[in-house]
Amino acid sequence: MNINFSNLQFQYQKYKSDIDANIQAVLDKSNYIAGEEVNNLERELEGFTGVKHAITCSSGTDALLLAMMALDIQPGDEIITTPFTFIATAEAIALMKAKPVFVDIEPDTFNINANLLEDAITDKTKAIMPVSLYGQPADMNAIQSIADKYNLKVIIDGAQSFGSTYNGKTDSNLGDISTTSFFPTKPLGCYGDGGAVFTNSNEYAEKIKMMRIHGQSKQYQHKYIGLCGRLDTIQAAVLLAKLPHYTQELVDRQQVAQHYTDALSDSVQVPVIKSNRSSAWAQYTVRVDNRDTLQAKLKDNGIPTAVHYPVSLHLQKCFQYLNYKQGDFPISEQASEEVMSLPISALITDIEQKHIISNLASY
């Protein structure tokens, strides 16, 4: 048996008629940029998330840049974030010429540890950027109350967590600005690059809409230096075909995750989802001792795995200038040696899951 890590071909076959029809409609109209599908998708995303403004854009990375531009982040400003995330989180901060300041993670959720935040705050700190890693929001009440106390903004990197909840609200509807990615393998993915920014603030929304189109207030009138940061109409058309199925996909992903957890909790350290939260299950990530050997054994049996992420960001070469060293964030460093993600999607079959479980349970 050869298992697929994220099942994108199967997914396309399932929604093919709607996706093809939607793409064909864009081709027929040739409205490739800023077509009506983009606007329709944004209204649908607002309905789904409960947020006042959903503004689509070119990627999850650009969504973070747009969020920081809207908050007027300046060179030298400090933004506190987690070292245990995909590079884009801290890369976007650095691209703004701001300084990423890392704070270690909780060992169970892998998310930023709110108890350590206050020690990292200085008079240059402007914002906290928690990441909803693997699909589960961070401890947003604790983070928000520290942000309120020190007058900081909160930008959520929700690239992996579209549709997840914290105390019943989607994580797009928390913080000052929240973002997501529609990269193809994300829980809600398009078929190219894409992303979105969410906010309940009219002021930020207006600025983000200008920033994603070269800071333009009216055609050829440029109020700000912005980005070429729009979502293509064809990608909006793909997402419009997939979004109606997404609530069911989240239920199916939850079921797959629960099945893993029930079957594997005696063999490996399974993910912990806090009782006031739900995960979008971008990844189902376990902790194991002898990861290399296990990955090789699983590969031999047709089971692909992945490591999210093998190097903590404070130890990446591109962040050497921040002068962090090995040992600064021990929980994150240990996680980077032990985590291993298993195949998960709404479309993984029972037979495939049984095969994965029997290989892992006997390890």
Ligand X SMILES: Cc1ncc(COP(=O)(O)O)c(C=O)c1O
Residues 120-137: b if buried by 16+ CB within 10 A, e if exposed = bbeeebbbbbbbbbbbbb
**Nearer to ligand X (CB atom), residue 77 or residue 157:** 157
3-state per-residue secondary structure call for 325-339: CCCCCHHHHHHHHHE
CA-based nearest residue to 239, from 279, 182, 293? 182
277-278 and 165-166 beta bridge pairing: antiparallel
Stretch of 16-24, 86-94, 118-126, 233-241 lying at the interface with ligand X (CB under 6 A):
86-94
Q: If binding is defined by CB under 6 A, does position 236 make contact with ligand X?
A: no
DSSP string, 292-319: HHHHHHHHHTT---B-S-SS-GGGSGGG
Chain centroid to CA 103: how far? 18
d(CA 186, CA 256): 16
Task: Tell me the window of 81-89, 122-130, 231-239, 266-274 that interacts with ligand X (CB under 6 A).
Answer: 81-89
Could you say whether residue 198 binds ligand X (CB under 6 A)? no
157 binds ligand X (CB under 6 A): yes
Under 8 Å between Cβ of 42 and 208: no
Taking the least distance from each CB to ligand X, the nearer of 89 and 165 is 89
Smallest distance, ligand X to C-beta of residue 206, A: 23
Identity of the residue, 86 or 204, whose beta carbon is nearer to ligand X in the bound complex = 86
Please say which residue, 61 or 278, places its beta carbon nearer to ligand X.
Answer: 61
Q: Which residues pair with 165 in a beta bridge?
A: 170, 278
Q: Is 105 in the site for ligand X (CB under 6 A)?
A: no
Distance CA 62, CA 51 (A): 19
**Residue 59 within binding range of ligand X, rule CB under 6 A:** yes
Cα first-last separation, the chain: 18
**Residue 61 interacts with ligand X (CB under 6 A): yes or no:** yes
The SS3 call for residue 86 is: coil
Smallest CA-to-CA distance from 190 within 55, 29, 58 is with 58
**Parallel/antiparallel/unpaired status of strands 153-157 and 125-129:** parallel
Structure tokens at 31: 């409205």
Report the distance separating Cα 134 and Cα 131, nearest Å: 9
173 forms part of the interface with ligand X (CB under 6 A): no
Residue 130, interface with ligand X (CB under 6 A)?
Answer: no
Q: Under the criterion CB under 6 A, does residue 181 sit at the interface with ligand X?
A: yes
- Residue with the closest Cβ to ligand X? 60
Q: Which of 110, 166, 183, 324 binds ligand X (CB under 6 A)?
A: 183
CB-nearer residue toward ligand X: 89 or 353? 89
Task: Provide the minimum distance between the beta carbon of 195 and ligand X in the complex, in angstroms, as a whole number.
Answer: 5
Q: Which amino acid is at 175?
A: G
**Any contact of residue 100 with ligand X (CB under 6 A)?**
no
Would you count residue 256 as binding ligand X (CB under 6 A)? no
- Report in angstroms how near the CB of residue 62 gets to ligand X at its nearest: 7
Near ligand X by CB under 6 A: residue from 195, 226, 229, 343 = 195
- Asked if 90 and 99 touch (Cβ cutoff 8 Å), the reply is no
* # of chain residues touching ligand X (CB under 6 A): 15
Phi, psi of 361 (to 5 degrees): -65, -25
Kindly tell me which of 198 and 352 has the beta carbon lying closer to ligand X: 198
In terms of CB distance, is 153 or 352 closer to ligand X?
153
Stretch that binds ligand X, among 4-12, 57-65, 70-78, 96-104 (CB under 6 A): 57-65
CB of 86 or CB of 102, closer to ligand X: 86
User: Where do contacts with ligand X occur on this chain (CB under 6 A)?
Assistant: 59-61, 85-86, 88-89, 131, 157, 159-160, 181, 183, 193, 195
